[in-house]
Amino acid sequence: MSDKKYWLGFNLVKGIGPAKMQALVDAFDSLEAAWRASEPQLKRLGLDQRAINSLLEARATLDLEAAWQAVEKAGIHLLTWDDPGYPTYLREIPTPPPVLYLQGELQEVDRLAVAVVGTRRLTGYGRQVTRDLVAGLVQNGVTIVSGLARGIDAIAHKTAVEMNGRTLAVLGSGLDCIYPGENRALAQQIAAGHGAIISEYGLGVQPEAKNFPPRNRVISGLSLGVVVIEAGEQSGALITTKFAVEQDREVFAVPGNITSPASRGPNRLIQQGAKLVTCVEDILEELNLQLVVEQTAVQLALPESAEELALYTHLTAQPVHIDELSRMTGLPSSTISSTLTLMELKGMVRQVGGMNYVLSREPDPIYEVKPGDPNQEKS
């Protein structure tokens, strides 16, 4: 608890973002030592005067013990970079939040997550497509990530809850400032057994416009891919897809009527190369997530795709980092992440920390692929 108290403290200091937080973590033996550092020490780290002044003011005025008790009283859990439960894929993005405030529960199955986003001013078509796609994803064991906004976001969360699936709602405010207010009951349902509501913002932080682009990077960061169903040309959902591209996530778009303002965003994304979606199978196949539910038994744990075979032949009992697997196989990191997740669910591989993987058992000789073997080619 004492260490997390200082993570909380730094999270409440204006001007201390992920980059400065990383510098503090690297420079000091503990966050308590970083919290108590002198002004010269902070300057030597490269912190600007504005951030230093904010930290000095916070140290003088903030009661860390009271702040921590307020978080506990609200039933909120804190996840930090140091926590093994910090979401694996989110940890990989360029600027992962140092602290996540969480109500509800994150589970291992939430690594198989797809973001579903779109406009607040949805049409009947958008409503039906959202329900159909989310239902299909949930039936295949996929967790739904969205932003709890009106429109597409809310329908995505509600459908997942109604299907008894899992969903993660990422906020652009503190968890005690649910926005919009009409979705408070939905947020409570999610946190009460259907997933989690998540924010990088502390208690009392209001849903200001500046908070939502950073929120969108977390939505895409938690996901293997982002599906845009309806969105105007200036929609915040399109900001999420920009982050998805930067994070090497897949981008999907549902085509719509060319005369409908709500379809201009996804239609434009398709022109720019997003995967066109007409059914849930388009998403599952692209992310290699078919038959996740049926194929989890260890006795079925044999390579069943070119991607699985490529990874299987490069893994042993010795840990191999995901970046090294990407280099050896030539596969994009998004494909490797989704394939390893599926292989882990099957019992074929294990993650042993720090994005390193090992085989659960040594490969049989039959799977030793030789140069020129046609089985190496991607089907």
pLDDT at 176: 94
pLDDT of 359 above 60 = yes
Contact between residue 163 and residue 134 where contact means Cβ atoms under 8 Å apart: yes
Q: Which residue has the higher pLDDT, 333 or 231?
A: 231
Task: Please name every residue paired with 167 in a beta bridge, in sequence order, or none if there are none.
Answer: 144, 195
Helix (H, G, I), strand (E, B) or coil at 167: strand
Question: Model confidence over 32-69: pLDDT tens digits?
Answer: 999 999 899 988 888 889 989 999 999 999 999 999 99
375 C-beta neighbours (distance < 10 Å), count: 13
> What pTM value is reported for the model?
0.76
Task: Return the pLDDT at 361.
Answer: 54
User: What's the pLDDT tens digit per position in 249-281?
Assistant: 999 999 999 999 999 999 999 999 999 999 999
- pLDDT of amino acid 292: 47
Residue 280 confidence (pLDDT): 94
Mean pLDDT of the chain: 87
DSSP letter at 69?
H
SS3 annotation, 77-121: EEEECCCCCCCHHHHCCCCCCCEEEEEECCCHHHHCEEEEECCCC
**Tokens encoding 310:** 């490529």
Q: How confident is the model at residue 374 (pLDDT cuts 50, 70, 90)?
A: very low
pLDDT at 368 over 80: no
- Nearest residue to 355 (alpha-carbon basis) of 304, 328, 320: 320
Residues 177 and 74: beta-carbon distance below 8 Å: no
For domain 103-286, the question of CATH label 3.30.1370.100 is answered with no
Q: Is residue 1 over pLDDT 90?
A: no
What is the pLDDT, as a whole number, of residue 266? 95
Confidence of residue 293 (pLDDT cuts 50, 70, 90): very low
Which pLDDT band holds residue 365 (cuts at 50, 70, 90)? very low
pLDDT band at 334 (very low <50, low <70, confident <90, very high): confident
Q: Which CATH architecture has domain 298-376?
A: Orthogonal Bundle (1.10)
Flag whether pLDDT at 339 surpasses 50.
Answer: yes
**234: pLDDT strictly greater than 90:** no
Does residue 377 carry a pLDDT above 70?
no
**pLDDT value of position 290:** 62
Q: Is the pLDDT of residue 375 over 70?
A: no
Instruction: Give the integer Cα–Cα distance in Å for 167 and 148.
Output: 10
* E strand or H helix that includes residue 321: strand 320-321
Domain boundaries, the chain: 2-73, 103-286, 298-376
DSSP state, residue 256: -
Tokens of 287: 């992310």
Weakest-pLDDT range from 146-155, 283-292, 311-320, 355-364:
355-364
C-alpha–C-alpha distance, residues 243 and 230, integer Å: 18
